[in-house]
Amino acid sequence: MRVGFIGECMAELKKVDGLLQEGFAGDTFNSAVYLKRTFPALESYFISAIGSDPLSKEMLEFTRGESINTRFLYAHPDKHIGLYKIYTDACGERSFTYWRNDSAAKGLMSLLNESDTASLTAMDMVLFSGISLAVLNREDLNKFWRLLEAVDL
């Protein structure tokens, strides 16, 4: 079974014991990882765009290290992945600051060609979230809906 997850993975920064730690996360990305960890025989694809910068390459290697298929993880030549920092107050309540306005994931739909679209429509299941929709460039939403309509479930 092939399951595709459309969304954005961002670099995550948080302080732990006074040191800044880096990680990678996002709602659909986390779902792709947990599906693969729980059901290793399934093909879990992450469908998004990253940059060509070193941080994007680290995220790509992290994704591959989780055995997520990166066939549909496109490298944009001029963009980068988004970034967010987690702040935790004295009571443990978390808050976030995001830097994602120039994220490569916003332009995902413009990076797909006809062959990619045909391959994506052969997925057994495709998942996305409200955040996936909010991240995409507005002018690409119709292309996104057409892609989902073409998925043969």
Structural domain harbouring 29: 2-150
- Out of 20-29, 87-96, 113-122, 138-147, least confident range: 113-122
Tell the residue number behind the tokens 């998004």, with chain if given. 48
Task: Single out the residue of 32, 23, 34 nearest to residue 3, CA to CA.
Answer: 32
SS3 at position 29: helix
- Give the pLDDT of residue 153: 55
Check: CB of residue 131 under 8 Å from CB of residue 29. no
- Give the pLDDT of residue 150: 82
Check: CB of residue 143 under 8 Å from CB of residue 150. no
pLDDT tens for each residue of 5-40: 999 999 999 988 889 999 999 999 999 999 999 999
| Average pLDDT, integer, range 78-90 | 94
The residues facing 3 across adjacent strands are 44, 125
Domain count, the chain: 1
Residue of higher predicted confidence among 115 and 28: 28
- Give the pLDDT of residue 152: 64
Query: For residue 1, what pLDDT band results from cuts at 50, 70 and 90?
Result: very high
Q: How far is CA 36 from CA 100, 107, 144, 153, in A?
A: 26, 26, 25, 20
- Mean pLDDT, the chain, as a whole number? 93
| H or E, element range at 61 | helix 54-65
Which CATH number is 45's domain given? 3.40.1190.20
Check: CB of residue 72 under 8 Å from CB of residue 46. yes
Residue 114 has pLDDT above 90, yes or no: no
